[in-house]
Structure 1
C-alpha cells in the first residue's frame, strides 16, 4: 500500500501532538515531518517533498499564508491543507490566493481531517462550509462594486449584452454608433475584469442585470 506522505505544522505543541496522535492510527498516512512555523514548513516541504502539508495559518516566524505561497511556487507538488481557528476574509482569501488546496477549521473532527488529507492526496479539495460562505460573500460584494463603476450608458450596453445582442443590434436599439458601442463594450469588459462578451453576459445574468421589459 502506497502511503500518503504528510508534514504537520502548528505552533501550538498540544494541538500538533494531538493531530499526530490520531494520524498515527491511520495505516495509509505516514507523517514524515512536523514543525511549528511557516519557515519550518518550507524547510520540511523541500526536504521531504510530502504529498500533503497540513498547516495552521497564524504562526510566528513566517505564517501559513507565506509558507503556502512558497511551497506552491517552488513546484514541489505538495498540496497544502489549512487547518486553523480563523475563517474571516483577511485569512481565507489570501490563503486561497496563495495556493492552499483545502481549508478546514479546528472544530473539524479527526475523521474530517483525515478525509481531507486523503482527498488532497487524490487531487480533491475540501472547503469548510463556513469558509465557503466567506468566499461567496466576498464574491458578491466584489461583483457589486464592479458594476457600480459602470456609467449609465455602459449599464445600458451591458443589459443589451445580457440579451445576447450584437454590436449592430445594440447600436440600433440605443441609437448610438457602432464605434461608440465597441468603446462601451471594451470599457465594460475592463471594469468587470472579464475576458469576453460571454463572461460579461454571465456576470449580468448572475447579478440580475437585464433590459427593462417594454410594455
Structure 2
C-alpha cells in the first residue's frame, strides 16, 4: 500500500519477476487495503509508513489475520524510536527504509514472512529496549466491525443508516459506537471521527 502509483508499479514489477514471490494487488487508500486483504488474504502486506503512521491499519488486519506479515516502508520522518516501537507493538513484522535498495525490500519481505520479524540494520538500534507486551498492552485496537462503523459515521450516517448498511440491529451499532468512543477516548461521535483522522485511522478518500 503506497500513495505513489509509480512506486507501486515499480515494486510490483520487481516482485513479479522474483522467484517464489507473487504480486496480488496494490492501492493507495486505507479502506481499499482492508477490502483487498479480506478478499485476497496475502501472506505479506507492504505499507508506506505515511499511510499508517500509528500502526492502526496493521493492528486492525493482524487482529483478524495473525499470520499476516505487515512490512512497513519507513519514510525519513518516521525513522525514530517512537515510530519503530509503535509499529512493532501494532504487529508490524518488518521495517525497512522506503528509500532502500530493492534487494533490501525483497529481503524484508521474505524474512518477515519466514522468520516473522525483520528489522533493517539501520533501523534496528531504534528498537533497543522494546518490550512487546508492555507496548501492546497500552493499545486499544478497533475490531474490523468497529472500523467499518467508524467509517460510516465519518461519512455522516446516523445509527439507523449504519445498521441498514451493515445489516445489523441499531442496538448493535450503539454498542459498537460505545466501544469506539471508549477505545479512542472520545467525548462523542464527532470527536471520535476527528481523533481518527488525526491518528491516520481514517483518510479523506476512504471511498476510493
Quickly name the TM-score band, shorter chain normalised.
0.5 to 0.7
Deviates more, 1:123-132 or 1:103-112: 123-132
Q: Which residue of 1 aligns with 2:60?
A: 70
1:132 aligns with 2:124: yes
Extract unaligned runs of 5+ from structure 2: 132-208
Q: So what's the TM-score if we normalise by structure 1?
A: 0.54
How far did 1:21 drift?
Answer: 1.8
Q: Which residue of 1 aligns with 2:16?
A: 24
Q: From the CA coordinates, give the structure whose radius of gyration is larger.
A: 1
Q: Which residue of 2 aligns with 1:94?
A: 86
Extract unaligned runs of 5+ from structure 1: 1-8, 140-215
1:118 aligns with 2:110: yes
Distance 1:76 1:64 in 2: 19
How far did 1:92 drift?
Answer: 1.6
SS of 2:103's equivalent in the other structure is helix
How far did 1:76 drift?
Answer: 5.0
Q: 2:27 aligns with which of 35, 47, 54?
A: 35
Give runs of aligned pairs for residues 129-208 of structure 1, distance below 5 A.
Answer: 129-136=121-128
Q: Which residue of 1 aligns with 2:41?
A: 49
Q: CA RMSD in A?
A: 2.3
Distance 2:104 2:45 in 1: 16
Distance 1:90 1:13 in 2: 28
Q: Which residue of 2 aligns with 1:204?
A: none
* Distance of aligned partners of 1:38 and 1:136 in 2 relative to their CA distance in 1, 3 Å threshold: same
* Distance of aligned partners of 1:64 and 1:12 in 2 relative to their CA distance in 1, 3 Å threshold: farther
| Deviation per residue, 1:75-121 (Å, 9 max, x gap) | 35211011121311332221111000010001321112112212222
* Distance of aligned partners of 1:114 and 1:138 in 2 relative to their CA distance in 1, 3 Å threshold: closer
Relative contact order, higher structure (CA 8 A, sep 6+)? 2
SS of 2:115's equivalent in the other structure is coil
Give runs of aligned pairs for residues 98-109 of structure 1, distance below 5 A.
Answer: 98-109=90-101
Distance 1:116 1:109 in 2: 11
| Deviation per residue, 1:48-93 (Å, 9 max, x gap) | 111111111112xx65721100011113521101112131133222
Q: So what's the TM-score if we normalise by structure 2?
A: 0.56
